[in-house]
Structure 1
Amino acid sequence: MPALPDHTRIYVSTMGKAVRVTAIFANDNAANAHLALNPDEGVISEIGDVIFIANVNDLGVDLPHVPSAR
């Protein structure tokens, strides 16, 4: 799945923030081709062969602090 439609909301959690994913790719070549045409986007996460892209200017939304169970 390349670029996501505006009404689709997928987020990646990183460093206490939720950052919106703008595109998802199944391989490096497709992701790199997209990034070459969209310099304001970058890789936010990879899970297996799946590559998640986000806008580099997206500072994310603070997530509530959940204390860890110890």
Structure 2
Amino acid sequence: MIRYSWRSVKNNFWSSFLVMCSLIAIFIAGPVSISALFDIQAKVDDNIQVYARGSYDILIRSSNSKTEV
């Protein structure tokens, strides 16, 4: 069975090479993209915490302190 597989890889070298390169690219790109997504999510959460106004802020403010946005 191993001999048959090896012979198949030798006969179809380019297609086997492309499949192996595709698998390597998928296994490298997957974790990198997931890591980037988690990093972006953390940055968004930090920005929301820094720049967000809560409902408490709106309720406490006096009616004369309105600013144009």
Shared topology, TM-score over 0.5?
no
The TM-score with structure 1 as length reference comes to 0.17
From the two aligned structures, give the one with the greater strand fraction.
1
Max Rg structure:
2
From the two aligned structures, give the one with the greater helix fraction.
2
